[in-house]
Copies of this chain bind each other. A is one copy, B any other.
Amino acid sequence: MKNNDISPPPRSLRTHIYEIIFESDTAAGRNFDVALFLFIIISIVVVLFESVETYRIEYQVFFRTVEWILTIIFLIEYILRLYSVRKPLHYALSFYGIIDLLAILPSFLAFFVAAGQSLIVIRALRLLRVFRIFKLGSFMAQGNVIMESINQSKGKIAVFLYFIVILVLIIGSMMYVIEGGRNESFDSIPTSIYWAIVTLTTVGYGDITPSTNIGKFMSAVVMILGYAVIAVPTGIVSASMINQSRKVNGQACPHCGKEGHDNDASFCKHCGGGL
């Protein structure tokens, strides 16, 4: 039995509940996950429909009933999680612990804030937990490869964003100087920066467009710049994904058991033993 931080208490009712709620290798555990998945989906669908005015007026009572039933179910589940886990505080402060709590709060919040129950959609984050019900074994591994690649290129992407922010500040101000006064859309620097981001990311809503000739010329330069700029994050992620896929192909070293060797390696890079 592994003994990690969120490990089960000695065999008992608590252990049993733990196995059902936190794990998915028993039949009950799997059924629990599937049920949870369905409850989350129903919960989200209800919120989506409730936000549409025609449905809200007609089915208000029905929507609210379903919402409260599901909120109570999730509340009970949360309490059971706190009860069954060995270190409740540790769980409560973990990533999933916080999400589990956030998923319950919006229903109560709705008493005070108008559009409060819209935040119920935060339950979508819980879908990350029941990911495992899709039996695809490699599904999880694939997700890890993506995560690892993004993680690896985190630093480069942060630097890239730092440059983008500086770039967008300067382009925005220049366009404000050029278009401001002549074009009502560019009425302040923040708006111009918003325009610069819309343009540089190639989203291009068209709610703010240059009207002067020099403004159009500047825009064209920004767009072509955006061309080169969009290549950078793609290049970063591609490069780290290729490195990643190279490592994934590797085999375990027969001497030290470590993985992650290149395809053309003849010796283990960790212990120097032959592969």
Name the residue in A127, A236, A243 with the highest tally of chain B Cβ atoms < 10 Å from its Cβ. A236
Which of B176, B197, B239 touches A115 (beta carbons < 8 Å)?
B176
Q: Nearest CB to that of A113 among chain B residues?
A: B177
Q: Is the CB of A198 within 8 A of B173?
A: no
Q: Is the CB of B201 within 8 A of A131?
A: no
Q: Which of A193-238 contact B (CB under 8 A)?
A: 193-194, 197-199, 201-207, 209, 213, 216-217, 219-220, 223-224, 226-228, 230-238
Q: Is the CB of B180 within 8 A of A194?
A: no
| A189 and B47 contact, Cβ closer than 8 Å, known pairs A204-B203, A231-B233, A231-B234 | yes
Write 11 A-B pairs (CB below 8 A) sorted by A numbering.
Answer: A119-B177, A122-B173, A124-B170, A125-B170, A131-B162, A149-B235, A197-B223, A204-B205, A234-B234, A238-B241, A260-B262
Chain B residues near A189: list those with CB within 8 A: 47-48, 51-52, 118, 121
Q: Which A residues fall within an 8 A CB radius of B?
A: 44, 47-48, 51-53, 114-115, 118-119, 121-122, 124-125, 127-128, 131, 136, 138-139, 142-143, 145-146, 149-150, 155-162, 164-166, 169-170, 172-173, 176-177, 180-181, 187-191, 193-194, 197-199, 201-207, 209, 213, 216-217, 219-220, 223-224, 226-228, 230-245, 260-262, 264-274
| A262 and B269 contact, Cβ closer than 8 Å, known pairs A124-B166, A155-B139, A231-B236 | yes
Chain B residues near A234: list those with CB within 8 A: 230-231, 234-235, 237-238
Which of B138, B197, B220, B236 touches A224 (beta carbons < 8 Å)?
B197
Q: Is the CB of B156 within 8 A of A145?
A: yes
Chain B residues near A193: list those with CB within 8 A: 48, 220
Q: Nearest CB to that of A160 among chain B residues?
A: B146
